[in-house]
Amino acid sequence: MTPEEIIQQSQLLGYDDVGITPAVIPEEDIHAYRKWIHENRHGNLKYMENDMRCDPQRLFPGAKTAIIFVSHYKQPKQPFEPNKGVIASYARGRDYHNVHHRRLKKFIRWMEERTGRKNIAKGFSDSAPILERALAVQAGLGWFGKNTLLIHRKFGTFTLLSGLLTTLKIPGKNIAERKPRCGACTRCLDACPTGALTPFQLDASKCLSYHLIESKGNVPPHVKKQNPGYAFGCDICQDVCPHNVRPPESQSEDFSPQRGIGSFLDLSLLEAIEEEPEKLYGTPLKRRGVKGLRENLESLKTSCHSFPIPQE
């Protein structure tokens, strides 16, 4: 199996780029991850406390190669409007986990048919304990930005990663020296409304996306005041990044607003969702749930964004 065949098959399945690298996490990334956990910068994300992320062999014994796929999802930037909350661009369409899992199953089936061997690969898409961004950088797909996101050489930061580990040994890249290309730019750090970013490090407990997506409780009062108008997630550190100026908008139907809840959440849409919670199925917003989405909308009443919502 050649890299050229892998590239061709990934394109047929809808991926925008692919990289191949040995299934080994660089030591500097292991150190950075452990330091991040030790300093408790992951907030209440207890699932991040899993050192298996540092060793692909523990996830898939016998793994020799990691194949990392890139999906480009950039959507039009939406303005903040009264009586509406903006949905982060990655969450406007279908849940990328489902999209990627479908593609990965097809890719692994193709690999098995191509080699005549079974059980040679295991897929992952953000939900498995592995430092996939570190593997993406090592595979030459981009570099870490000061906003902690992968900056792809063509698509900027508006990318979603998935990948697989395989027992096959496939020639690929192993970047010995990684040079960030942010230079002296601090736009993402300066624009973060909650001060969650320092160069190349995120304090999840301060992050707006953390409170509007991952947190199971109410949005803290100080975070409410700092929210410029998001109902789910946040794109600010990406919107201001110079590397996102040139990339075109995604043409993928899976990530288009028409395939999900859309670009905005308002009271009327929330009421419709409360009547039919299944509207959230297959979308990223299901992670927050109906109750959490109402809390997110309610929190905008006390933000710097004018958002009056009548009381029930």
> What residues are annotated to the active site?
126
Asked whether the CA dihedral 10, 127, 195, 94 is positive or negative, the reply is positive
**Cα–Cα dist 70/100, whole Å:** 10
Rounded to whole angstroms, the maximal C-alpha distance in the chain is: 62
Compute the C-alpha angle 150/155/159, nearest 5°. 50
Residue with tokens 């050229």: 4
CB neighbours of 110 closer than 8 A, spacing ≥ 6?
A: 9
Measured CA distances, 289 to 125, 208, 232, 286 (Å): 21, 17, 11, 5
**Cα–Cα dist 291/273, whole Å:** 10
**Cα–Cα dist 238/33, whole Å:** 22
- With beta carbons less than 8 A apart as the criterion, state whether 175 and 29 touch: no
Return the bridge partners of 232, or none.
87
As given in the structure block, the two tokens for residue 248 are 């075109």
**Cα–Cα dist 240/232, whole Å:** 18
- With beta carbons less than 8 A apart as the criterion, state whether 265 and 231 touch: yes
